[in-house]
Chain A
Amino acid sequence: AQKVTQAQTEISVVEKEDVTLDCVYETRDTTYYLFWYKQPPSGELVFLIRRNSFDEQNEISGRYSWNFQKSTSSFNFTITASQVVDSAVYFCAFPNYGGSQGNLIFGKGTKLSVKP
């Protein structure tokens, strides 16, 4: 069965520090997608990224970068030079049943607090 594990429950950093959020997944699928979502204190869920298992190149978007390693079943998310506005809960997610149901299995989330 698919499973997503975010072992870090809460992380607290000081502004401008780099921080990495870990995500480990389990699947028997050979091709799949992985997702990260952000939930700021206002409560909405914001889509950040989708990666295909075929593509193991690191993805960088501004201060955000993602490291996907199929060999270790990990899809880690790094925020460089963190800012207070990065404070949120971050979720890693994986398609249920290969995506055939159109929904996701979510990790339990990592709460990131960035202090000024």
Chain B
Amino acid sequence: NAGVTQTPKFQVLKTGQSMTLQCAQDMNHEYMSWYRQDPGMGLRLIHYSVGAGITDQGEVPNGYNVSRSTTEDFPLRLLSAAPSQTSVYFCASCPGTGYEQYFGPGTRLTVT
């Protein structure tokens, strides 16, 4: 099992550009989430999904879009990148209520 994979590992964008961060898991987990990590802020939830076709907003959703067409994939789209979106992004999956999150390796995004 590859677990949770994320691509790319690093990305530099100019303000206003759009891009998609890819996330995939091969553990057949229903729950998937996107977090961003900023210095001193811990991890904050951007969007989450409780199953294919179902997504919802987390704590900091503005400027991001998600979709979940399959159980395996949960891409995160930046619609028009802003310097405030410079962060490390983690995708996670979870097999069910009360279980731990399985994290991907993260994507370090810089917006100039």
CB-defined contacts of A43 to chain B, threshold 8 Å: 88, 105-106
B53 within 8 A of A: no
Chain B, residues 7-39, CB within 8 Å of chain A (1/0): the string is 000000000000000000000011111010000
Bound form: Cα–Cα A99–B56 in Å: 15
With a CB–CB cut-off of 8 A, which chain B residues contact A47?
Answer: 100-102
Instruction: Name the distance in Å between B10's Cβ and chain A's nearest Cβ.
Output: 11
A30 CB to nearest chain B CB (Å): 14
A91 at the interface (CB under 8 A from B): yes
Partner of B32, one of A45, A91, A100, A102: A102
With A43-B106, A102-B30, A102-B48: A107-B97 Cβ-Cβ less than 8 Å: no
Answer whether residue B45 sits at the interface, using C-beta atoms and an 8 A cutoff: yes
Within 8 A of A (CB), among B34-56: 35, 40-45, 48, 50, 56
Chosen A-B contacts, 27 in total, with CB atoms closer than 8 Å, are A43-B105, A44-B103, A44-B106, A45-B106, A50-B99, A91-B43, A96-B45, A99-B97, A99-B98, A100-B97, A101-B33, A101-B56, A102-B29, A102-B31, A102-B33, A102-B50, A102-B94, A102-B97, A103-B31, A103-B33, A103-B45, A103-B58, A103-B101, A104-B101, A106-B44, A108-B41, A109-B42
Q: Which B residues form the contact surface with A (CB < 8 A)?
A: 29-33, 35, 40-45, 48, 50, 56, 58, 88, 90, 92, 94, 96-103, 105-106
